[in-house]
Copies of this chain bind each other. A is one copy, B any other.
Amino acid sequence: MDKRQRIIDSAIKLYLRQGIEKTTITDIVKDAGIGQGTYYLYFSSKLSVMPAIAEYMVNNVLRRLESEVRDRSFKRNVETMVSVFFDNTEEYKELTKLVYTGFTQTEEVGRWETIYAPLYEWVQTLIDRARSDGEISPRTSSFFASRIMIGAMESAAEQVYLFDDPEQSFIDEYRSALVDHILTSLNYGK
């Protein structure tokens, strides 16, 4: 029903399957079951769906975090977070980068920060609480810590899934090393 959302859904599906370059507006509108011109009623150009896609994906992660990370010890929470980021990257592999790149070709580069903001804030809050609870060092700057953490998790996940067929044991080791890294960097349990 909501054509705007149908465009976004189809765009994601096709970009994931065939890449941005290979996907034409025609592909998208066909998949969405709407007319060719209708696309331009909702988005002003091919690239201008990108922010919407980015938003959708960040919200996706947020939703998972909110539902899966709950009330447990900070350590457990970090473990879950790493899982969420790994799973998400696996599912959407190239798309994040693709979207990001598409973004840089728009004039809306600045909005990237805005779109990520809720995610940064959510993690920041999590850190703040752990600090209040005395689980991590009181001198931690949650602002930078949240950003560095997210960057580290995303990079790690990307590295892992670049391997054509990463073995599960390798993934598990990497994940566990990453959890240690994060906790240690926050002086957890000292």
A143 to chain B, nearest CB (A): 8
Q: What residues of chain B lie closer than 8 Å to A154, measured between beta carbons?
A: 151, 155
A2 at the interface (CB under 8 A from B): no
A104 at the interface (CB under 8 A from B): yes
How long is the Cα–Cα vector from A113 to B182 in the complex, in angstroms?
A: 24
User: Is B21's CB under 8 angstroms from A177's CB?
Assistant: no
A2 to chain B, nearest CB (A): 22
User: Is B148's CB under 8 angstroms from A181's CB?
Assistant: yes
A5 at the interface (CB under 8 A from B): no
Q: What residues of chain B lie closer than 8 Å to A185, measured between beta carbons?
A: 181-182, 184-185
How long is the Cα–Cα vector from A104 to B20 in the complex, in angstroms?
A: 11
Closest to A173 in B: B144
Instruction: Give the size range of A's interface with the partner.
Output: 35 or more
A24 at the interface (CB under 8 A from B): no
Most chain B CB neighbours (cut-off 10 Å) among A145, A173, A177: A177
17 chain-A/chain-B pairs, Cβ below 8 angstroms = A19-B104, A94-B104, A97-B100, A97-B104, A101-B101, A109-B162, A109-B164, A144-B174, A144-B177, A145-B177, A151-B151, A151-B152, A151-B156, A152-B152, A155-B155, A184-B186, A185-B185
- Knowing that A97-B97, A98-B104 touch, tell me 8 more A-B residue pairs with CB under 8 angstroms: A19-B104, A94-B104, A97-B101, A144-B177, A148-B155, A148-B156, A155-B155, A184-B186
